[in-house]
Structure 1
Amino acid sequence: MKVTVDQDKCASSGNCVMQAPAIFDQRDEDGVVVLLNANPPSEQENNARRAAVSCPALAISIEE
């Protein structure tokens, strides 16, 4: 699995961090998503998928 984010699309909702804190964080100054792990381990893959689905701006992409 490969995770990518588009920071220009990010709405700073924080849903990704709530779903997958080991994969995503937010910048302190504006809350925009920060990708911590583009290739999460298998035990984190479902969390990454939930984060992508819960992103209101569709700023997270998953490649299998």
Structure 2
Amino acid sequence: MSKGTLLTNNWLLGAVAVAILIGIALVASLQGHMAVELAGLELSVAPHEDGGLRVALARAGGSGLLPL
């Protein structure tokens, strides 16, 4: 067996990322829209008119800070 924590295993990091994406898709299908902004990119997931989900990846326009 190799030494190291579970978070150093590549398969576990991939599984966590997939679980987060499945959670985002589930919330978007139930609530109607979900957007996540990270490192200047925005991932937007919304239900489509014909069924299914619409996924969009775009550059975020704002600075990422909350307005006062």
TM category (shorter chain) comes to under 0.3
Of structures 1 and 2, the larger Rg is shown by: 2
TM-score of the two chains, using structure 2 as the length reference: 0.26
TM-score of the two chains, using structure 1 as the length reference: 0.27
Q: Which has the higher helix share?
A: 2
Q: Which has the higher strand share?
A: 2
Higher RCO structure (Cα 8 Å, ≥6 apart): 1
